Structure 1
């Protein structure tokens, strides 16, 4: 994780009033940078994914992850800045990808971040990151006390049946992992009832059991093979590496940020 954030805007002016308002609202001192990408060689664009620490003291349930996109027009010495708040990382990453950021450049890398608990979590996150404008976000909620979870309520423009989708994320702090699941509902009211009552398991999307179910299972199988290959490569690197002193204590990881 890189906490340093400098948009290098000292000699540039906001291109419009919307950018002026955005700059006034962004407090860099409150941001913990999770990932960032700056284009080269001319530095025309910057993409940042960060945790906004100030949100934890604000409205309960508010999204804590902020995606920031900066576009510079060096020919006239101006820039534009956009921000968007999200409850979960893949939706924030999707927003940045839609604005031109290469997906691999905004991925989280490092042992300080929580890891997906299973291959279905990886599949659901990849689905969101690559979804383009498929999902209309209707509401979100983030809980970072007691039960640590987030949910994102969406409308899926590609779904023929049960078009309202809930993406539910739950963290296991002790294990340093998290799960992400997709639930399908006929309407917003049914989804909200489940979120309020939790009277049963999250209903799986119908495509998990119809003809597309084979596609879903095949994707999960490929993810499992890729993760197994990564683990094997890591184990070999450890075996081949020279002996070194063990690392010092690290902070407890959670998905997307450190507590």
Structure 2
């Protein structure tokens, strides 16, 4: 699963550039992390970007986020580095955090083999939208259920939305089929979104912009309709183990990095 990645960031000859990086190094423990995607930049691997699943979170408070984003920047002229970590409910939001820190989105989008696959083109489209969203979404809350069926939702506020700006991204897993779906729902306010999440009365309401003038969404929906009733699964796009919840938190993991 790890594809040979051992979380060795080659920091032996470098010193932390600030107190936050020094603390992150002291607290970092890779023993419970499973690498899902990584990218290293030139020259000399000056930056490293990693998405990982933290198994230790499943032993804690139910609903905690389990997807960890890690960003390492090395200043080889000064022999220093910075290390940042952040927890997210789902892989696309972790990828978006790394893209904001300079990671090319197409590089971090490639997930290691052996995990569940996106079930349809609409899932791929919504994941790409999140991954390349920048500061568009303010994450208000998240939650992942480990029950059957397994799901994760992320409650956000969309700064670009003219109507119904509160958005819910719902990720649902079919472990028997080895695939999952991601859908976006739109609400007028947070209370309306929470009511739907609590009661689940009716389908997840689609955003107003899911209309004929949104070519990418239309193409994805047409492809979804054509593939209804089939078991075809796209080969590209992010996937992960079960993905969890809570607002992305800047939080180091216990243990040592070096």
Q: CA deviation at 1:108?
A: 3.3
- Alpha carbons of 1:40 and 1:222: their partners in 2 closer, same or farther (altered >3 Å)? farther
Do 1:45 and 1:72's aligned partners in 2 also have CA atoms closer than 8 Å? yes
RMSD: 2.5
Larger radius of gyration: 1
Distance 1:25 1:55 in 2: 15
Structure 1 or 2: more helix by fraction: 1
Q: CA deviation at 1:107?
A: 2.3
Distance 2:94 2:204 in 1: 23
Structure 2 portions without partners, runs of 5+: 227-231, 243-258
Structure 1 portions without partners, runs of 5+: 226-230, 235-253
The answer for the alignment partner of 1:217 in structure 2 is 218
Residues 1:82 and 2:84 are matched in the alignment: yes
For residues 22-61 of structure 1, the aligned pairs below 5 Å read 22-61=24-63
TM-score (norm 1): 0.82
Query: Looking at both structures, which has the greater relative contact order when contacts are Cα pairs under 8 Å and sequence separation is at least 6?
Result: 2
Distance 2:6 2:225 in 1: 34
Q: CA deviation at 1:166?
A: 0.3
TM-score (norm 2): 0.82
Residues 1:103 and 2:87 are matched in the alignment: no
Do 2:51 and 2:70's aligned partners in 1 also have CA atoms closer than 8 Å? yes
Match of 1:12 among 7, 11, 14: 14
Distance 1:69 1:153 in 2: 24
The answer for the alignment partner of 2:152 in structure 1 is 150
Do 2:121 and 2:220's aligned partners in 1 also have CA atoms closer than 8 Å? no
For residues 66-81 of structure 1, the aligned pairs below 5 Å read 66-81=68-83
Q: CA deviation at 1:214?
A: 4.8
- Alpha carbons of 1:70 and 1:98: their partners in 2 closer, same or farther (altered >3 Å)? same
Match of 2:195 among 193, 196, 201: 193
- Alpha carbons of 1:25 and 1:190: their partners in 2 closer, same or farther (altered >3 Å)? farther
Distance 2:54 2:6 in 1: 14
